[in-house]
Structure 1
Amino acid sequence: MKKAVFFDIDGTLLDCINGIMDITPRVKMAIRKLQEKGDYVFIATGRPYAFLSSALLDFGFDGFVLTNGSYVILNDKCLYKEAIDKEVIIELTSNFEKHDIEYILQGEKYSYIKDEHKKLHSFYDTYNISKKYLEGNYKLEDVDIYKIEMLCENTHGIDYCLSLEDKCFNYIYNSEDGSFELYSKRSSKASGILKILDFLNIPLENSYAFGDGKNDIEMLSTVGCGIAMGNADDYVKGYAKKVTDTVQNDGVALEIEKFIL
């Protein structure tokens, strides 16, 4: 029976903050061995398509669970998508403007960010995000949005963003840099993974996931075996069945080699 293995990007396959901008050779080799056995390999990320590097897109993954499960690609075709209601997007962006919150609207292929959001642009430069699929000129009524990320630098902006959890949204807040991720409560990496497993008729016990962040908790606790990175918070590790080493020490490869293969 084939297996399906899902990989988070940031803090799992990559560590852009600490200079690991591409999948390391040992991890690449381990993933290739899975493919050689006929197993499936997928990316499961909070990132939208626009934030995927050409190296990730060209690697040969079988599909992508994007924007925390609200947009799912299998074999280069959309398997599932659920955009946020346009009227909700219009209301949110209006309030973001009032509270001096910089934001990016994440769509299917393109993501939409105003040129004047300089600090948010700089934030993504840190992660080596290409501007190829970033669009500054857009009309809200013409685009479908699956996730929003915001950057807040004042108390009233942070308070407003925190209040959105009561409006059918999940959010992830990083107090160190004032960044937020906002997405529908109906979507998660786990929900996207389950759609892929159902389509491919792969039993849950034959699924594995690697992750390190709070948006990985659902998938780590849902798949047959969730594997937390050594660099993950202890809180996240509590939801995993296994804990491997850090990104720097090729944690993904170690667990693939000694456990999954």
Structure 2
Amino acid sequence: MKHKGVVFFDVDGTLIDWTKKIYAPTKVTKDAIVKLRENGYLTILATGRPKNCIDEGIVDLGLNGYIASNGAYAEIDNKVLFNETLDNKELKVLLDFLEENNVVYMLEGQESNYVLDLKNEKISNLIKEANLNIDNFSEEWDKETVKVSKIIAVAYDNKSFDLVCERFLKEGYAFMSNLSNGGLFEIYKAKYTKGYGVGHLLGLLDISKDNAYAFGDGENDIEMFQAVKYGIAMGGYHEKLEQYAYDFTEDVANEGIEKGLKKLGLI
């Protein structure tokens, strides 16, 4: 079947908003995505989350594929296209540095997440606030063999963030700070972005950038917006995203997905 185009959806702040206790897509969003597929468009998730953190509410949307861990992993129709992981020697150096500087962290793999201590207050709060499934976490792992795509660090001041950036920026890592939201910041290989995953999929699917759309709200959606013609920023978007947006819609609570798809004429 020849598709008219493809629409990529971010998760947090786009399909759901756990900061506002909206843990699953609304009925209006679900119905809009069903209509979108009926109208001949592929639907792909593009999230910073690993595959194991894509919860049932998102899976139940029946999307055609997933780009996870900021572009390090991709699958379509249940077939894994690529799954890039961090080099273990480099990872050990980074993790040792975090531990030496008292920065708590969580490692994200596609099958599982890894922590040193599930009872750590910062980790337990993160799992609770982000509505993550604790069954997807393990304390049994080894730095020299664990397969992960990204690191979530937890710190409550800019000093720790700046310290890590200064030490590892020249080694090919990228960093995304959200210190105001529980002190989180992400560490991942700069090469692997949502834009990398989106561009790779468009090539495999033989779909033109001119027929590609994306909905997002975060700083890590910039590269995704650059990889498509129509990047739609959700209400409450990160200020750095604005200049890359084709247009704007409302936030999750005000049914931004449905309104944005209607404005584009896709439903």
Tell me the TM-score normalised to structure 2 length: 0.93
* Conserved 8 A contact 1:71-1:80: yes
* Conserved 8 A contact 2:249-2:256: yes
Aligned partner of 2:38 in structure 1 is: 36
C-alpha separation in 1, matches of 2:22 and 2:60: 18
Structure 2 counterpart of 1:250, one-letter code: E
Could you list the per-position Cα deviations for residues 47-83 of structure 1 after superposition, in whole angstroms to 9, with x for gaps in the alignment? 1112111221232111111010011111112111221
- 2:166 matched to 1:160? no
Superposition deviation, residue 155 in structure 1: 5.9
114-123 or 48-57, which deviates more: 114-123
Tell me the TM-score normalised to structure 1 length: 0.95
- 2:228 matched to 1:223? yes
C-alpha separation in 1, matches of 2:258 and 2:215: 11
Could you list the per-position Cα deviations for residues 186-211 of structure 1 after superposition, in whole angstroms to 9, with x for gaps in the alignment? 11001101111111111111100000
C-alpha separation in 2, matches of 1:61 and 1:174: 28
Could you list the per-position Cα deviations for residues 101-136 of structure 1 after superposition, in whole angstroms to 9, with x for gaps in the alignment? 111111121111122433122122111111121111
Aligned partner of 1:54 in structure 2 is: 56
**Where in structure 1 do 4 or more consecutive aligned residues deviate above 6 Å?**
none
C-alpha separation in 1, matches of 2:188 and 2:12: 18
The root-mean-square deviation of aligned C-alpha atoms, in Å, is 1.5
Residue identity (%) = 32
Aligned partner of 1:96 in structure 2 is: 98
For structure 2, the 5+ residue unaligned runs are none
For structure 1, the 5+ residue unaligned runs are none
Superposition deviation, residue 43 in structure 1: 0.7
C-alpha separation in 1, matches of 2:234 and 2:159: 34
2:176 corresponds, among 172, 175, 188, to: 172
C-alpha separation in 2, matches of 1:140 and 1:223: 37
Q: Superposed, which structure 2 residues align to 1:12-23 within 5 Å?
A: 12-23=14-25
Superposition deviation, residue 96 in structure 1: 1.1
Q: Superposed, which structure 2 residues align to 1:1-261 within 5 Å?
A: 1-115=3-117, 116-153=119-156, 156-163=159-166, 164-176=168-180, 177-259=182-264, 260-261=266-267
205-214 or 29-38, which deviates more: 29-38
How many pairs were matched up?
261
Residue 162 of structure 2 aligns to a residue in which SS? helix
* Conserved 8 A contact 1:149-1:181: yes
* Conserved 8 A contact 1:99-1:156: no
C-alpha separation in 1, matches of 2:54 and 2:128: 13
* Conserved 8 A contact 1:231-1:247: no
* Conserved 8 A contact 1:112-1:135: yes
C-alpha separation in 2, matches of 1:40 and 1:141: 39
C-alpha separation in 1, matches of 2:207 and 2:236: 29
Residue 216 of structure 1 aligns to a residue in which SS? helix
Superposition deviation, residue 256 in structure 1: 0.9
Structure 1 counterpart of 2:72, one-letter code: S
Residue 143 of structure 1 aligns to a residue in which SS? coil
C-alpha separation in 2, matches of 1:54 and 1:202: 28
Superposition deviation, residue 156 in structure 1: 5.0
* Conserved 8 A contact 2:155-2:179: no
* Conserved 8 A contact 2:198-2:227: no
Residue 103 of structure 1 aligns to a residue in which SS? strand
